[in-house]
Chain A
Amino acid sequence: MKLRDLVRLAGLEVLALPDGEVEVRHGYTSDLLSDVMGHCPEDSILITVQNHKNTVAVSTLAGAHAILVVHNRPIPDEMLTLANREKVALLRTNLDQFTISCRIGALLGLEARG
C-alpha cells in the first residue's frame, strides 16, 4: 500500500511526508531501538512511542519508510529536522500502540509477519 493511502485510511497526522508514493508492506511495533535494528523488516512503518531523533537514525538503517509515534507524544524539533533530512516520514496518532497496530495490520492485510 502506498504510504499516502495508509496515512489517509488509518487517519494519521502528518508531520513529515517526504515521499507519499513509497510502498509500505509491513508494520513493526517496538520501542527498543536495538530491537528495531535487529528485527524491523524493510519497507515497513515503525510504530513506536520513542519520540527521539535516534529513532529516525535507526529507521534509516533498518529501511523503514515511516515512523508513527503513538499517544500523541510531542515531537522534538531535532527529530523532525532529521526525519526531513533522512527522507523518513514522521507520522503521529493519539491512539495507543496496540490499537493502531491492529488497525494498520488490518489495512495492510497481512499475514502479519511473525
Chain B
Amino acid sequence: MSDLPKNYISEPGLNGEGVEQPAEPLVLIEMIQRLKVRDVMTSKLVTVVRASPLREVQSLMKAKRISGVPVEEGGRFLGLVTINDILRALEGGYIDETCQKHMSTKLVVLEDDMPLSFALRYFENYHYGRFPVINREQKLVGIICQRDINRALLLELANELNRLESEWVLSKATAQPYNLYVLREFPVSKYDFENAGKAANKIKQILQEKKFPPKVIRRIAVAAYELEINLCVHSDGGSLSWQISNGRAEIIATDSGPGIVDLEWACKDGNSTANEWIRSFGFGAGMGLVNVKRVADEFEIESTVNVGTRVKAVIYIDEKQKDES
C-alpha cells in the first residue's frame, strides 16, 4: 500500500525531543524494506531438466560463472544443483549420472514479493549461497545470491546519495531554515477522540518554532488535522506521517481499512458516511477531504475496500515549487 519507509522515527508518545534526524541511518533500513526480492534477483535463468547429466550442469556453471542451477520442467521447480553437489559428484565419480538422482530437493525458497530484508535474514540463518525465488503461483521466477544483493544495494545507495546530495546543495543554495529533513509518524486509533488532533497541534508548534511562514503553517496544520480526524472517525486505525524536505511538506495518512467504496463520492463536499454519534462530536459533515484538497498543492487518494486507504497532501513551502510544477 504505502511506499513509505516503515522503520523511520516513530513517536507514539508525542513527547520526542529532537526534530531533525540525519537521513543517513534511515536510508539503508528504508532501502531493504522498500526493495523487493524481485528487484534484486537474477531472472534470466539457466535451468536444466531432471534427465540432464551432472556433467552438463558442471559446464553450465563454468560457462555462466554461476554456483547453482535450478532443475525445472514446464515451469515447475523441482530441485537445485549446487556447486557442492558437483564437487561431491566429481569426488564420488558419478558426474555422468542425472540430476534427478542427486539434486537437492529439500529447499528453502524465497517469494518474489518479500522485502529484501527477508532475504538478508535468510542468508544469515541458513548459510546457503543462493535461494531460488518463486512467485505466488509457485512458479520459479529467479534466483538470488549474495552477489545480487551487494550489486543492488550499491546501486541504490549511489542513487540515494546523489539524491541527498542534490537536496543538500539545493537547501544550501536557498539557505532556508525549512529545507531541513524532518520525518515523523503518529499512530491514530479508531474513535480515540481524546487524542485525535494532537499530532496536528504538535506539527503546528514545531513549525512555529522553526519560524515557518504563518500561512503555510496554517495550511499544513489544517491538512494534518483533517486527515488525523478522518483516521479517527472512519478508519480501523492508522498513522499520520509528515515529512518536510526540499521546500515541500508531505502529509500522509495510511490506514488498514475498511477502505472507501466510492472515492469520487467521498471527495465531494457534504458527502459523509458518518453517523449521528460522530456528528455530535462536530465531525462528519463531509468537509474533511474537501478541506485537505483546498489547502494542498498536490492531493492524492487511493483506497481498496477491506485493505485500506492512503491519502497524500503536499504543500509547497517554497513558492518556487509552484512555478516548477
Contact = CB atoms under 8 A, between A and B. Distances in A.
Contacts of A50: 279, 285
Contacts of B279: 32-33, 50
B269 interface: yes
Nearest to A32: B280
B276 A54 contact: yes
B293 to A, nearest CB: 15
Nearest to A79: B270
A34 interface: yes
Interface string A10-41: 00000000000000000000011110000000
A32 B282 contact: yes
A49 B285 contact: yes
A74 B285 contact: no
Interface string A36-52: 00000000000001111
A114 interface: no
Nearest to A76: B270
Contact of A74 (B270, B276, B280, B282): B270
A33 B270 CA distance: 16
A73 B282 contact: no
A34 B279 CA distance: 10
Contacts of A54: 276
A8 to B, nearest CB: 27
Interface string B268-288: 011000001001101001000
13 contacts: A31-B285, A32-B279, A32-B280, A32-B282, A33-B279, A33-B280, A34-B280, A49-B285, A51-B270, A52-B285, A73-B269, A74-B269, A74-B270
Given A34-B280, A49-B285, A73-B269, 11 more contacts: A32-B279, A32-B282, A33-B279, A50-B279, A50-B285, A51-B285, A52-B285, A73-B270, A74-B269, A74-B270, A76-B270
